[in-house]
Structure 1
């Protein structure tokens, strides 16, 4: 990490936050002052001190555990192997796991991003994603590797994001809901944006086309904590598409059960407290399909599929279609046990529409067995890291 930071002229900007700019020289000084060989547990916020603490952890000989909940019992340092960073999964489908990430993983992720997206020293990346998730952390690493700069907000705000996207920023990472809210606040047109990388959740119908019309090059991506972010992203310059092309050095394949498997130097050696993986292919819990061009389309979580009366219900399909209904608000679909059907789909939603209205909307657009059998209006959808629906919590609310 120190080597990367030393490659750029000391006067070049690295971090912009509010009215303050830290050059590469400033950043090096802040990082060196924080170097440690210790095991450090850090609950980061979108603030300069967190940025420098994380970079120092990667530059020193210690191990940084990025953990907003400061969980006890991280275990002995020996469990981490050659990891330099421990990041917890969101736990959206179960208990969070500590992912061991090495500098080899991080450098491969940064190298692949530069090669695929083409960002470099002239680019500024907007950071408004949390730093306890790889979506935010990877921006710091990619930018330091490429020699560019980061414009960090203290949190996501549609007005602030829109202002940044109209300013010096050229690359952005967001979850789809963030982009939707930004365009609702300021529909554009925008100029000068190279890429807006979307990940972390399903993309509502029409969002990609709306973004393109506003001059926003929205690029769907696929990645995970275990690969330090994106392993596939739609190629820049492509027309609106939900597919994503693999980054250089990444292998993708579909397992016989439909799950996506990933290989390459980005893949973590394993989880905290568990042995190293021996299989070069990491099998995810995501379902997908790969076309003749090698591009991947993610179909949803394998462990989220609901088998109801012998039929498979894909929650992501239902949630994506509902997102286009003006009265649905936000939604999440989960399965709960049922004596007659084995499992039934229950939809939690925040909008003002009635269940009958939403069911009628779905019946016109999806197979009938995808229509939830129960509906529950809630004030807010339970969320995990990066704003992903917390399906375990939603299932409990639904009575499962």
Structure 2
């Protein structure tokens, strides 16, 4: 009989750091500066209140708030009592949060006081408020001390919602032991040498990848600096980098592009930066090169899905600009992460060799325990011992991965498979194109035809003339649509599903 083994509760990361560095800064948010001792004490107070309200180990707590110090407090308080955290992006509508709540069935909701409609819609029996007043406000709780609840291997820590909320949402179950590996791996591969002398700037919502990144700072004792504005403010970003001597940050390509193009990037002191990490979507080569020219060799790219908690490949600063194989229009997303394994497999499950395109599959300790109450999703994603990402790619002779596209993004026009990323890379290389998305739309004769939706000053004739000598004619999009901006998710990703729906709603026809 296999013995049950105890895992390390994620709350222990804070407990240990608060013991080691009690007076050092843990969180900075505007004029607010919490030390590790203060954060630990506030976590204890909230943990005691959650326990008093009947929240038990294994129960789910729904967290809906923009980034704040109280959000971090809530994360660790939930873990401290052995409950499961289900954070949502603060930009979601009340109806979207309701769909998530139905999937994870929370016993209590912690909600920002500026969004009461979300709490009303969820109709949870108990609600605590961030930035509120009165006895139900997180900030008004009396001091309390609660030990870290024992948890075993396989115990869920985080319900990580990985897709949109149209239809049934997919919720990856992240466990305490899995996340312990992920944090170790992040420190090993993404920001080696991080210590209590470092500072991290929080730019993305802590409800997803940025929250995982924050865990690594807690383990190392590095302080996390939160922006104060409701949106991305490049001036504030570079002011904080200079003033707080920020050494690392987690971004997505759209955020990195914006801050690298901001005028202050060229005038403020950012010499403290060592690791500017970006993930979540491929970054166009032209945008990548511009960021390198402005910031220096500090970019760290990683590739991974929520189900693998980002742990598939890494491209460290010294490997940006690596030569790509002949005929490949864009660069690598790096080599496989420490302790992980990937394979390129065809539709029959056969493993493919270098230069052959197939589905990217991954195995290792960073893979989630499965989906919450979703056997259909489990069966589709977990096959033959591998997690199937749904992304298409190839490796070179040295094992470096190149993502050619999302399987669901590929379209078939006149019998030819077309992967949008190659076209998008070429379009965004035009100096008068700032953003672009290429997708397949239905056509009565060709099955699907390519549609390029772009932002910028260039006109359609210019873009056609730009593409035609650079690719086979059948790959050139049949239609071009210019928009003032492209729709993005709450995490800064361009959402092709929304683009397709908007095109159809506006009466697009072939």
Q: Which residue of 2 aligns with 1:237?
A: 318
Q: Which residue of 2 aligns with 1:123?
A: 198
Once the two structures are superposed, the pairs formed by residues 260-279 of structure 1 within 5 Å of their partners are 260-275=360-375
1:92 is displaced (CA, Å) by: 9.6
Matched, 1:33 2:45: yes
Q: Which residue of 2 aligns with 1:182?
A: 259
Mapped partners of 2:372, 2:71: distance in 1: 22
Structure 1 pair 393–212 and aligned structure 2 pair: CA distance change class (3 A): closer
Once the two structures are superposed, the pairs formed by residues 204-215 of structure 1 within 5 Å of their partners are 204-215=284-295
| The 10-residue stretch of structure 1 (103-112 or 201-210) with the greater mean CA deviation from structure 2 | 201-210
Q: Which residue of 2 aligns with 1:195?
A: 275
CA contact (8 A) 1:41 1:66 kept: yes
Mapped partners of 1:94, 1:74: distance in 2: 11
- The secondary structure found in structure 1 opposite 2:301 is strand
Mapped partners of 2:404, 2:166: distance in 1: 16
Matched, 1:142 2:216: yes
Q: Which residue of 1 aligns with 2:78?
A: 57
CA contact (8 A) 1:328 1:358 kept: no
Of residues 90, 99, 102 in structure 1, which corresponds to 2:175?
A: 102
1:330 is displaced (CA, Å) by: 2.0
Mapped partners of 1:391, 1:92: distance in 2: 15
Mapped partners of 1:309, 1:334: distance in 2: 15
Q: Which residue of 1 aligns with 2:103?
A: 74
Q: Which residue of 2 aligns with 1:152?
A: 226
CA contact (8 A) 2:62 2:106 kept: no
Of residues 364, 374, 389 in structure 2, which corresponds to 1:284?
A: 389
TM-score of the pair, normalised by structure 2 = 0.73
CA contact (8 A) 2:61 2:106 kept: no
CA contact (8 A) 1:331 1:347 kept: yes
Mapped partners of 1:260, 1:94: distance in 2: 25
Mapped partners of 1:356, 1:29: distance in 2: 63
1:106-152 per-position Cα deviation (integer Å, ceiling 9, x unaligned)? 1111100111131232221211101232x211122111122222111
Matched, 1:44 2:44: no
Mapped partners of 2:475, 2:166: distance in 1: 20
Q: Which residue of 2 aligns with 1:170?
A: 247
Structure 1 pair 313–92 and aligned structure 2 pair: CA distance change class (3 A): farther
Runs of 4+ residues over 6 Å off in structure 1? none
TM-score of the pair, normalised by structure 1 = 0.91
Structure 1 pair 13–187 and aligned structure 2 pair: CA distance change class (3 A): closer
Q: Which residue of 1 aligns with 2:34?
A: 22
Structure 1 pair 41–296 and aligned structure 2 pair: CA distance change class (3 A): same
1:317 is displaced (CA, Å) by: 1.8
- The secondary structure found in structure 2 opposite 1:297 is strand
**Higher-Rg member (1/2):** 2
Q: Structure 1: which 5+ residue stretches go unaligned? A: none
Matched, 1:250 2:340: yes
1:368 is displaced (CA, Å) by: 2.2
Structure 1 pair 173–366 and aligned structure 2 pair: CA distance change class (3 A): farther
